[in-house]
Amino acid sequence: MTITRRHDDTIEIVDADSTQPARERERWARAYGRLLVVIDNAVVFTALSAAAVIGTQPTILPALDGRVQVPVLVPLAVLAAAMLVTLSMTGSRAPRVYGVGSREYRAVLLSVVFTFAGVALVAYVVSLHGLHAILAVGGVFTAAGLITARFAARRWLLRQRRRGRMSHRVLVVGSPAVAGPLSDDLRRAPGAGLQVVGAYDPSGTAADADGAAARAIAAEVVAALGVLGADTVLISSANELTPATVRELSWHLEPGRQHLVVAPSLTDIGGPRIHARPVNGLPLLHVETPRYAGGRLHVKRLFDIVASASLIVVLSPVLLVIAALVRSTSPGGVLFRQERIGLQGETFAMLKFRSMYADAEQRLAELHARERGEGNSVMFKMKDDPRVTAVGGILRRFSLDELPQLFNVLSGSMSLVGPRPPLRREVELYGRSVHRRFLVKPGITGLWQVSGRSDLGWDETVRLDLFYVENWTLTGDLAILLRTVKAVLRSEGAY
């Protein structure tokens, strides 16, 4: 739906869909919150019961005339109640937390640590003996159970949101040039729970001294929310509205039921780099500049060495079998060495198991002349490349041809996670900003590989690689490695 203002200052609503009242649709948030309460209760009860069975010891309190035994159910009941209260206090069930991002999991882990550490401290102060085994086992079971249960609940919620359910209905406010791309981004991320149902263009409204225009825009937006049954206003860029208009709009929204979201003029900036700092009523956003040196980089290199060496040892039988298959099924060497561009633009020899016939590079010009690659405008990719051998096709499908790159990681020319290492002919087509990819080591896997691989267009590939360069973290690397396993098993976008 699109809302525009006519020349006579009336508004026109185009393609409005009939919707049920927003109050009825918002019941999903309360229902999902109650579901999380039930899940948390079940997990905490099960985990602490198992801990009591494993760590059964008499619980004893000091007394004036000696010692008295306390039934183990008493401290367990206190521990369970404290655990459930802490889960609520940390906001682990807040609608803005669950379903997307890592804040939900961090809140759950913080609740477990805070509760069990607090109970352990109290037990030490009052000389309550016999709880150490229960606390140790119960803490591990509770944390593992809650994280697993929340992950399963999130997967279910994601399936519902992909079907258009259990999401906030969003009205985007802003000019088409800004609101359009933002709406497209939200539609590609249904898991965020923000379903775009309309757009409002505030352009053409002149500012005035008494704020009449601001009140008029706010009234029109609220009216559009009612027509659409929407509950969330998303301002695509605050630069297009005066501060008075944004403030007036926030005053017009119904507290607790209608929400205001502002998209800052920052793109591809990771959350950990952004910090809000209010100064004299101004909500300033501090954006940290990315760092490419220091302790984190040393830890990343240490992890690369340990992980690559361990994988080489564990996978050595697989490497030998693949080498034998490549050698016996087609003429040529086992390994394919290709010059790639790495850190700071330096060249290195990237290793792969040979998946093509020996004359593949000579036939590349012929294929370029016959048809453009199917991957994107810079990287040449073909789903049915005639140069690929039968064994090579299987290796490529499950990315087994890339296993020799573990030796590149061990030697230091690559990392386990990073941007894709490009060819020199690709670099010659790069724009100036794309060269920022060379600020970090290229990786065996990365955001590009776990987000579609060869099915992505060039612009999206660059955007993902640059996002990684600007926002990489050690925990983010671990998440990408886990997603890589899933992508390889499904052979998504590999050819």
pLDDT in tens, 352-370: 998 877 655 555 556 555 5
The answer, yes or no, to whether residue 208 has pLDDT greater than 70, is no
pLDDT digits (tens, 9 = 90+) for 85-102: 998 888 888 877 777 777
How far apart CA 347 and CA 340 sit, in angstroms, is 6
Residue with structure tokens 């205001």? 260
Q: Please provide the CATH number assigned to the domain covering 2-19+164-287.
A: 3.40.50
Looking at residue 32, its pLDDT comes to: 86
Q: What is the pLDDT, as a whole number, of residue 373? A: 46
Distance of CA 409 to the CA centre of its chain: 25
Q: What 3-state class would DSSP assign to 339? A: strand
Higher confidence at residue 262 or residue 404? 404
pLDDT tens for residues 443-456? 998 887 787 655 56
What is the per-residue pLDDT for 357? 72
pLDDT at res. 321 = 93
Q: Which residue pairs from 327-332 have beta carbons closer than 8 angstroms and sit at least 24 positions apart in sequence?
A: 329/389, 329/390, 329/391, 330/354, 330/357, 330/358, 330/389, 330/391, 330/392, 331/357, 331/358, 332/357, 332/358
Q: How confident is the model at residue 245 (pLDDT cuts 50, 70, 90)?
A: confident
d(CA 413, CA 440): 11
Which amino acid belongs to residue 215? R
153 vs 294: CA distance, rounded Å: 38
> 304 exposed, middle or buried (CB, 10 Å; 0-12, 13-18, 19+)?
buried
Residue 457 to residue 220: CA distance in whole angstroms? 39
CB 432 within 8 A of CB 439: no
Compare 274 and 228 and report the one with higher pLDDT. 228
Q: What is the pLDDT of residue 6?
A: 45
pLDDT given at position 449: 77
- Looking at residue 483, what is its pLDDT? 84
Closest CA to 444 of 491, 412, 402, 386: 402
Q: What is the pLDDT at residue 182?
A: 82
**CB-CB contact of 348 with 358 (8 Å):** no
User: Hey, which of 89-98, 142-151, 221-230 has the most confident mean pLDDT?
Assistant: 142-151
- Judge contact between 448 and 472, C-beta under 8 A: no
- Residue 305 reports pLDDT greater than 90: yes
Please give the pLDDT value at position 455: 59
Residue 380 has pLDDT above 60, yes or no: no
The angle subtended at Cα 175 by Cα 172 and Cα 178, nearest 5°, is: 80
Ramachandran bin of 118, using left for φ above 0, alpha for ψ from -120 to 50, beta for the remaining angles: alpha
Whose CA is closest to 353, among 308, 305, 321? Answer: 321
Beta bridge partners of 194: 168
Alpha-carbon gap, residue 47 to 27, rounded angstroms: 30
The pLDDT of residue 168: 85
Going by pLDDT thresholds of 50, 70 and 90, the confidence category of residue 211 is low
> In the predicted model, is pLDDT for residue 202 greater than 70?
yes
pLDDT-derived band at 69, boundaries 50, 70, 90: low
pLDDT classification of 306: cutoffs 50, 70, 90: very high
Read off the pLDDT of residues 118-139 as tens digits, 9 standing for 90 and up: 888 877 776 666 677 778 888 8
Quick: pLDDT tens for 156-197: 988 888 888 888 888 988 888 778 888 887 887 887 888 888
pLDDT at position 416 is 93
209: helix, coil or strand? coil
Q: Which position has the higher pLDDT, 381 or 126?
A: 126
Other Cβ atoms closer than 10 A to 104: 24
Q: Where are the domains of the chain?
A: 2-19+164-287, 27-162, 295-490
pLDDT of residue 470: 79
Q: Tell me the β-bridge partners of 287.
A: 274
**Which one is predicted more confidently, 493 or 388?**
388
And the tokens for 462? 């660059």
Give mean pLDDT, residues 5-21: 45
pLDDT of residue 438: 87
